[in-house]
Every structure is written in C-alpha cells, then in structure tokens.
Amino acid sequence: MSTLLDRAFELNPAMLAAAIELHQRGEVPSATQMIDLDVIADNARRTAAAADKHGLRVYAMTKQNGLNPFMTKVMLECGIPSTCAVETLQAHRIHRYGFPLGNVGHIQNIPAAQVPAVVAMRPEFITVYTYEAAQRVSAAASQLGITQRLYVRVTNQAPTGTPIVGVDDGAFSGLVGGWTEDTCVAGIRPLLDLPNVEVAGLTQFSAISYGETGDPSVVKPTEAFFTMLRAKELLEREFGLRDLHLNVGGNANVGTFPVLAGYGVTEVEPGVSLAGSGGFHAKQDMAERPAQVVVTEVSHYWGDNVYTAGGVFSFVSDLYDPQPMSAAAGTDLDSARGCRIPYLYNQMVDAHGVFGPGEPMPAIGDTVLVVHHPQAFLERGYTAAVSGISRGKPRVEGVFDAACNQLDEAFNVVPLQHTLDRLDAVGRYYRDEN
C-alpha cells in the first residue's frame, strides 16, 4: 500500500529532489510548504478541461496552500476561472493580488464591519447563514448600486456538540450554520424582499465521501449533499425560483466531477486535489499529481526520537492514507529514499515535529520532507512557489509568510508591486505554455 509520500517519490521525484537542493542551499527555509508550479499548471489544465466537459465552474480553494499567489496566478492562467475564500480573512489576501473571487463566506458569515469592503470586491457569490448577514450585504450592494448574488446553506445537522457526525453524513459540528431543512422556507423567505441581493443558489460542505476507508471506488454523495438537493427543490417550488445554483466543496476533483455534475451541481471548489495531495491520491492513480511538500530539517534528538523545526504541523493529517504517516530525510534524493522516520505527534503549539527513529538515523541539519493532506492556512510557517522543476532548473519565485506577504532574503516584507510584477511575468510564461 502506498502513502502520499510514496506517491510523490513515484510520480514527482523531481519536486522532492528540488526541495532538498533548495533547502540545503538556504533558498527554501525550514517550516515551508513548497509548491511545484510546473505540476500545478498541469493539474489546473486537467481540472479545467474536466470541469468544462461536465459543465462545472471551478472556484479554486487555495487555503491548503497558504493562498500562495504564484500558485493562484498559475492556476488562473491555466484555465481555472476563479477562486473562493471560506472566510473573510482569506478574501482580503486573495483580493490583495487582484484575483477574482467566486464565493466568499463558505464557512463564515462576513463580519459586519467588513461587509462593504467584501461586496466592493465584486465576488460572484457571497454565502450567508442568517437574515442579518444578508441584510448587511443588501445594504452594501445598495450603496454600490449593484445586485449581489447569494448562496444560502441548508444543513442536515442539529446544533449539537458532537465532533463529527460521520464521514457519510458530511456534517462537521464546527462547520455548520444556515437553516435546517424544516426551517429553510420560513427562514429564507425574508431574504427575497431585500433590495440589491438575489438568492441564487445553495452551498454545502462536505458533499462527497469516499467512505470510512477512503476508497475512491465507492465515492458517493453525503447526506448533507442530499439535504441540499431537497432544499433546492423546496425553495424553487415554494418561492417560484428557477435553476438555483448548487456549489459544493470537499473532495471535489477530476474523479468526482462526473458524479457531482450528474446531480446538477453547477460550481465546485477543489482544494487539495489541485496539488495532488488529497488522501485519496495515495490509493490509486488519479488525474492530479503531487505538487506540494512540507520542507523542514532535523533540529535535534531526544532519546531515540527525531525533532524537526516546527510551524507546519498544526494540522497534520493522513486522512484516508492507508499507512501511518512518515517523513523522508536526507541531503539528496537518494539518501532521502533510504531514510524514513515515522511521524509521532506534535504538541498544542508545534514548536517541533516529533518523529521516531529511522534506519539509518538522519543527521542534524538533514532536510525532512513530509507529504500529507495539508491545511497551510492553519499554520504559521512559510510557503514557497518554485518554477522550472520539470526542466531541471528550479527557481524560487517567492517565499511568503503566513499572512501571504512575500519576503526577501532577510525575511522582510517586499513591496507589493514587486510581487505583482513577478506574478505577471510568471503568469505569462505558464499561459504561453498552454
């Protein structure tokens, strides 16, 4: 059975070799999510083509990649039409670089004071969970003289404290809001009377499940997804609405697009799949290849355990990975192939990544590589975008802090215009490759 790390060695060893080389030269710092732009471009083209085939519009979910603007720029130039921001903090960081927004607020109502700024970004949709949230969007849209389309969310989960209802239910207690199926008609009806907003669709997370085993062959919609479908029919019938949009996030990728389109989904929000780092990529060949790796280094030992520099282990997941997660360590690709250290745990604040002993043991200063189901927006480490890996000429296009600011060699924030200029150049290069 393969792990995500195994798949990276098999399908993109050049990325791992470049990660070690650039880290050992000091160009990619420890505690970095490194992104292979060449493979990102290929994954984006495959995703865009599959979405077009099935009549789906793609909003790229870039939180897993720290919202790295070089990655976003390359995806947009390679056929992905827009982005999404699950929370307002991300919307500001995406908008900073001039990128379009497809959906804002998937898991969070926009804070009251920030509604005018977000509406002025002109997203295609804003997700609202309450009448009050819709009312604020209405007021801001009225001020601008525009009509803002809204997604509403109808959930299948009761307001309980259970951590996760279940993989096939598709409901996570910390990611709920909106209306229930039996309250959605009465709750959403007042939104129809608000000026300058249009209830145009529904959104749901999580919509697709690979089951408890993570087997892609048993992919199926979740109960949360079917709740959304029933709510769509109910709202259309009760309010006389037509052709409400359906937006889904979670496990959206080239492999699941046919299923989603078959149920009438109109917008999808692929995330980890764009970097080939969903846990399901460990189980079988999929359209997307690995394009992201955690890069850190051996800091010290305590007993037999290996401690690495932290900052990238706040969210470590081997979700659906069939084998326990491990890292590779070495000073070149060959030595890294021969040294695996098992991941053990991290503390509440990940000052270190803690790994078990390897055979052979890595040396202090060796590069440590981890490939897993990432959520870089939850971490305090860096992201680094690297071009030219497939040509054997890796170039670090930019190292960014956790707030999505590009840093110079002294780790000071560079002027925004510098980043924008380089984004344009890199974007043109990958666009011309098409």
Q: Are 111 and 88 in contact (CB under 8 A)?
A: yes
Tell me the two tokens of residue 110: 């926009």
Which pLDDT belongs to residue 175? Answer: 74
The β-bridge relationship of strands 57-61 and 395-400 is: unpaired
Which pLDDT belongs to residue 163? Answer: 41
Which pLDDT belongs to residue 165? Answer: 47
Q: Are 119 and 145 in contact (CB under 8 A)?
A: no
Q: How many CB atoms lie within 10 A of CB 319?
A: 15
Which pLDDT belongs to residue 104? Answer: 96
At which residue do the structure tokens 């975008």 appear?
Answer: 385
Question: Would you state the torsion angle of the CA atoms of residues 222, 226, 232, 234, taken in this order, to the nearest 10 degrees?
Answer: -150
Which pLDDT belongs to residue 36? Answer: 98
Task: Record the pTM.
Answer: 0.93
Backbone angles phi, psi at 384, to 5 degrees: -135, 130
**Which domains are seen in the chain, by residue range?**
4-35+286-433 (2.40.37.30), 41-274 (3.20.20.10)
Which pLDDT belongs to residue 322? Answer: 54
Which is nearest to 30 in space by CA: 352, 287, 248?
352
CA distances from 389 to 14, 41, 88, 129 (A): 6, 12, 33, 43
What is the mean pLDDT, run by run of 10 residues, along the chain of 434 residues?
87 98 98 97 96 97 89 97 94 96 92 97 97 98 98 75 49 77 95 98 84 64 89 97 92 88 94 84 85 96 94 70 80 96 83 91 96 81 96 97 96 97 96 82
CA 237 from centre of chain: 34
Which pLDDT belongs to residue 108? Answer: 86
Half-sphere exposure of 322 (CA within 13 A, CB side): 15
Which is nearest to 44 in space by CA: 399, 427, 403?
427
